[in-house]
Chain A
């Protein structure tokens, strides 16, 4: 049963109060380290690992930016575990990706206190810098976004965020709630025993369950689902052939940045950069012979289709692929539409639960009879 504590703050004090909360946590040794978005000395906000309480001052959790999907960072911290307890403050997309990585043995949650946060969206990195340069704060963003206005000047939150059905993080120990939390208040919700213990050791006072929250979350989710379905529909109508797909990837230069940015592309080395795809000169020649022309670098569509086959089932829709593309290819809708189809086929949802086996890692005797349509 969920328990809530409240963290009141007056205007402009949100980060200070949050810093106090985490500082307390580190001081009391509830955890040994903290991974959370913090303001960088030079510029911007990045996930930052802190082991000493004195360094949490720069915390800025609600800054509307996600420079990298932190599931990858969580993997780095835990796949070869340090043995020290770490609290991680992540967004829903990061947590869902992290759960897939856990299933793939790329991360471990034993020593992690997982803290989710309500996410109202993120700006692309460049846009965030502008946002920050113009003196806007995270609190400003929250205030506007809660009122339904995420836009700033002529830019808005990323396309992926606009259609994200998961503004609230699940499968976490603690949750930082701002949606319908009441003005001047942030609620911290404990969802697990681990979370409860951590929360109990803080000095915060209890709060009742926010009445409007469920409704507000549902409304936001519904709005995003509507936006998602609209986008998917449009996308499927236009990008419905290999030809159309080639059109989408016309600017692709095979830099593989999308796969580097992708939190669930978990291979150490992508098969497309291994020997398998290092072809001989005469192979290229023979392809050119038979096809008339050969676009170089080759295997572009092959790469993207294969990537769909490899991670379509794990895609959490964070949109980092689109953000990472140097040529502004809008990969997000491509991968998300495919992910929806493949995940639905297996009644699977990436990141829904650690206990749900990944579809291609298991199999049964009497299933998918319709694939062959043959019955003995």
Chain B
């Protein structure tokens, strides 16, 4: 059986994590291809609906990337994102979408290497956790 490759959707803030992903690229820091990035202008723009939709569409993990507190390009969008994530985590957890599948991380524009580490770590973690729920059903059915 081929190894399980989790699908991760990244919602990355244009000013920090998306730029960090660009930097990881220019620095040729390789990381698992499991993550696919959607460009947002700010982590504070990520509507909980997007995360729910991603999981319902079969994502095994969702990673929101924002600026470190205090560094938000829009002053405090990331702080709002943090509260939304805290709230949404509680709902997802209740239905077996573990906290380890839904990450918010602060990754500054200069932290290309951290982006690499976070994606590697998350991919590893998801491999340990195995298939996300909706994929499990699909595999079973």
Interface residues of A (CB under 8 A from B): 236, 239-245, 271, 291, 301-302, 305-306, 308-309, 312-313, 337-338, 341-342, 345-346, 359-360, 363-368, 371-372, 374, 376
| B97 contacts across to A, CB distance below 8 A | 242
Cβ of B69 within 8 Å of any chain A Cβ, yes or no, is yes
**B82 contact from A236, A309, A368, Cβ within 8 A:** A368
A242 touches B85 (CB 8 A): no
Tell me which of A302, A346, A364, A374 contacts B86 (CB under 8 A): A346
Main secondary structure of the interface of B (DSSP, over half): helix
Instruction: Kindly list chain B residues whose C-beta atoms are within 8 Å of the C-beta of A364.
Output: 79
How many residues of B are counted as interface, with CB atoms below 8 angstroms from the partner's CB atoms?
35
- Cβ contact of A372, chosen from B48, B91, B96, B105, cutoff 8 A: B105
Judging by beta carbons under 8 Å apart, are A341 and B83 in contact? Answer: no
A359 CB, min distance to chain B CBs, angstroms: 6
Q: How far is the CB of B139 from chain A (nearest CB, A)?
A: 12
Docked complex Cα distance between A291 and B103 (Å):
26
**Known contacts A305-B52, A365-B70, A368-B82; is A342 also within 8 Å of B91 by CB?**
yes
Give the top 6 A-B pairs by smallest Cβ distance, nearest first.
A241-B96, A363-B79, A341-B90, A309-B48, A342-B90, A242-B133
Instruction: Report whether B96 and A360 are in contact in the complex, using a CB–CB cutoff of 8 Å.
Output: no
Residues from chain A with a CB closer than 8 A to the CB of B103 are: 372
Given A305-B52, A368-B82, A371-B104, the answer on whether A345 and B70 have CB atoms closer than 8 Å is: no
Q: A371-B86, A372-B105 are in contact. Are A241 and B53 (CB under 8 A)?
A: no
Which A residues touch B80, using CB under 8 A? 360, 363
Contact of A363 among B49, B76, B93 (CB under 8 A): B76
Cross-interface CB contact of B95 among A240, A346, A371, cutoff 8 Å? A240
User: Is B133 a contact partner of A359 (Cβ separation < 8 A)?
Assistant: no
Report if B88 contacts A (CB, 8 A). yes
Contacts of A308 in B (CB 8 A): 91
Min C-beta distance of B102 to chain A, whole Å: 10
* Least CB distance, A285 to chain B, in whole angstroms: 16
**Max count, chain A CB within 10 A of own CB: residue among B87, B103, B105:** B87
The CA-CA distance from A239 to B48 in the complex, in Å, is: 21
Which residues of A sit under 8 angstroms from B90, Cβ to Cβ? 312, 338, 341-342, 345
B68 touches A376 (CB 8 A): yes
Q: Does B128 belong to the interface (CB within 8 Å)?
A: no
Q: Is the CB of B48 within 8 A of A306?
A: yes
CA distance A239 to B91 in the complex (A): 12
Within 8 A of A (CB), among B65-114: 68-70, 76, 79-80, 82-91, 93-97, 103-106
Q: Which residues of A contact B79 (CB under 8 A)?
A: 363-365
Q: How far is the CA of A364 from the CA of B86 in the complex (A)?
A: 13
Q: Are A359 and B94 in contact (CB under 8 A)?
A: no
Complex CA distance for A363 and B72, rounded to whole angstroms: 14
Contact with A along B43-62 (1 / 0, CB 8 A): 00000110011011000000
Measured between beta carbons, the chain A residues less than 8 angstroms from B134 are 242
> Within the assembled complex, what's the spacing in Å between the Cα atoms of A360 and B47?
12
CA distance A239 to B56 in the complex (A): 17
